[in-house]
Amino acid sequence: MTKTRALLLAVLPLLTVIAAPTAHADGNVRCDAGPRDTWRPLAELRKKAWMEGWTVQKTQIEGDCYEVYGRTESGQAIEAFFHPVTLKKLVVFRRGKEIFRAPGFSG
């Protein structure tokens, strides 16, 4: 076996790991929110998050959920998902780790 081939065989598994897509904190969060014409406005969600003491940096639609990027009162960066119809907080991540999940939510 040549040195080049041996090096390639040694490095190939590492390249596979590096080239693999990165996992997102949210994974595949699903809200089963129904038609968008029944969803509440994002402005209401921003107000709700503000009332909880969060500083909202960004709100967006992710799949069939509302997603909020912000900071808690203590300054922790968070990513949270809310149901677009009820505005119920479903799951919250900090640094890619789940820190809150609503009871019974499996999405």
Q: Is residue 4 part of a domain?
A: no
Q: Is residue 93 part of a domain?
A: yes
C-alpha 59/C-alpha 71 separation (Å) is 12
Q: Is residue 59 part of a domain?
A: yes
Q: Is residue 107 part of a domain?
A: no
pLDDT confidence of residue 68: 97
**CATH, residue 38:** 3.10.450
Q: Is residue 48 part of a domain?
A: yes
Number of domains into which the chain is organized? 1
Tokens of 30: 């699903």
pLDDT confidence of residue 12: 39
Q: Which domain holds residue 89?
A: 24-101
pLDDT confidence of residue 28: 77
- pLDDT (tens place) for every residue of the chain, 107 residues total: 565 455 444 533 433 333 333 334 455 799 999 999 999 999 999 999 999 999 999 999 999 999 999 999 999 999 999 999 999 999 999 999 999 999 999 98
pLDDT confidence of residue 69: 97
